Amino acid sequence: MDKHIHKQGEIYDNEEDRRHGLLEAKQRYANQPWLCIPCNILISRGGKTNHENSERHRRNFINLKN
């Protein structure tokens, strides 16, 4: 393949440019806001997993279910 196509349809000339575009797309996704309902806080999607594994989130989640 002489042309590399990104998922959004953008055409890249080489593998390095394609990789750079992929990293930019991942960064855009990770910076999107995400609302944790039990804790009532707004954090970035990049920190979602760390927050869900936190003791604070687990306490709030259990209290919400009761």
User: Hey, where are the domains in the chain?
Assistant: 1-30, 33-65
Are the CB atoms for 24 and 12 separated by under 8 Å?
Answer: no
Handedness of CA 9, 7, 24, 46 (dihedral sign): positive
Are the CB atoms for 24 and 6 separated by under 8 Å?
Answer: no
Q: Is the pTM of this model over 0.75?
A: no
Instruction: Compute the distance between CA of residue 29 and CA of residue 21 in angstroms, rounded to an integer.
Output: 13
pLDDT at 21 over 60: yes
Instruction: Compute the distance between CA of residue 17 and CA of residue 4 in angstroms, rounded to an integer.
Output: 9
Strands 11-12 and 4-5, by their bridges, are: antiparallel
- pLDDT tens-digit series, residues 30-62: 999 999 999 999 999 999 999 999 999 999 999
